[in-house]
Amino acid sequence: MNHLIFFTLVIAIYFGINEACKINQIIFKNDLGVGKRFQFQCKSSNADSGVRYLNHKATGGVKFKDTGTNTSLWKCVVRQGVNMKYYINLDAYTPVLKAPKCDQLREYTARLDYIYFRMDSYPPVKLYQWKT
């Protein structure tokens, strides 16, 4: 009987922790200027956001959840300019540990000079310069 109680307790804790884990987010913001569109497409091993466009001051992104030992690596291509001439390939979300992390925020703001990056509650920093 003690084994059954212990087993039930372990199962309840495992599922309780997994269900309590909040969604991770990769957010993109268009701060390029009026009339300038921003494009992004993100992919992981089992999901694809599709090509999405943001107008000036708009936000968009990807929400996902890491579970168990299944952690996500998200790679994104972002573009802007006439005919989407300027681009950056970036690793938008890289898991630090093999264990899942909860409620992670990765925010990328597109400006004419750089892509600015903010992680969780830290202030934004210049991260990538546009390529042609």
79 assigned to some structural domain: yes
List the CATH number of the domain containing 67.
2.60.40
Summarised one tens digit per residue, pLDDT across range 49-93 is: 999 999 999 999 999 887 766 678 899 999 999 899 999 999 998
- How many domains, in total, are found in the chain? 1
Instruction: With cut-offs at 50, 70 and 90, classify the pLDDT of residue 4.
Output: low
pTM above 0.85, yes or no: no
120 assigned to some structural domain: yes
Q: How far is CA 81 from CA 44, 95, 121, 132, in A?
A: 26, 31, 30, 10
Q: Identify the DSSP state of 39.
A: E
Structural domain of 91? 23-129
4 assigned to some structural domain: no
CA gap 57, 65 in Å, rounded: 26
CA gap 109, 127 in Å, rounded: 10
CA gap 118, 112 in Å, rounded: 17
% of residues, the chain, pLDDT over 70: 79
